[in-house]
Structure 1
Amino acid sequence: MTGDLIEAVLQRGDLAHLALFLWAASASALGLALLRELAASNRRFSDFVDEIERLNQIFRQRRG
């Protein structure tokens, strides 16, 4: 199906629209990948902060 769409666009000589579509699709895919990585980074940072808090609790128990 995608091949038919590309062939139809090429037959009409509408290469600018095809190029724009490919650019938009790749930019959207890149944006999605970046958002996924940002979410994973936020989870890792949250885990790090939780571990720091756990260490602080251990140290507080040892003092008091």
Structure 2
Amino acid sequence: MDEIISTVLAKGDLAHLALFMWASGASTAALLLLRELAAANKRYNAFVTEIAHLNRLFRDKD
């Protein structure tokens, strides 16, 4: 990675390096956000399933 940065800096392409770093960071943040959203969706689905199960238990007792 240091060789790439040295080459880019030697050619004077600092703007491209900054844009690449920003895009990499934004992509990583989006990936982490989607992973957390998927995990939250699974937890919510498990919660709703358990509530439905409890409702069935109480309904069948009557």
Q: Same fold (TM over 0.5)?
A: yes
Q: Aligning the two structures, in what range does the TM-score lie when normalised by the shorter sequence?
A: over 0.9
- Runs of 4 or more, structure 1, over 4 Å off, are none
- Cα deviation digits, residues 8-60 of structure 1 (max 9, x gap): 00111110000000000000000000000000010000001001001001101
Distance, in Å, in 2 between the alignment partners of 1:61 and 1:7 is 71
Letter of the 2:32 counterpart: A
TM-score by length of 2: 0.97
RMSD: 0.5
Q: Percent identity?
A: 55
Structure 1 stretches of 5 or more lacking a match? none
Count of equivalent residues: 62
Please name the residue that 2:51 is paired with: 52
Aligned match of 1:41: 40
Find the counterpart in structure 1 of residue 60 from structure 2.
Answer: 61
